[in-house]
Amino acid sequence: MRLRTALLATTLMAAAPAASMATTITGPYVDIGGGYNLTQTQHGHFADTDGGTEPGREKLGHRHGWTGFGAVGWGFGNGLRA
């Protein structure tokens, strides 16, 4: 447990200078990104809607795959964006 705490503290101390070098966005900006979507299958139990006594069972499946996103907006210079 002490090793985990030491690693967390080291990571936080290393991330602080990187966060302080972040620039404020003023004016228009465009952002794109992507990654791999790795989701898990979920099981749900729902009430039976046909009037039976057994509850309905459903399996909600999600598929793995690539994902991407984009953003366009305006930075006001004080940290707020629209």
User: If DSSP codes are grouped into helix, strand and coil, which group holds residue 21?
Assistant: coil
pLDDT the model gives residue 72: 95
pLDDT the model gives residue 12: 78
Percent of residues in the chain assigned helix, strand, coil, to nearest 5: 25, 45, 35
Q: For residues 61 and 44, what is the distance between their CA atoms, to the nearest angstrom?
A: 11
pLDDT in single tens digits along all 82 residues of the chain: 688 888 888 887 776 666 556 678 889 999 999 998 877 666 666 666 666 566 666 666 667 888 899 999 998 988 888 8
C-beta of residue 26 within 8 angstroms of C-beta of residue 76: yes
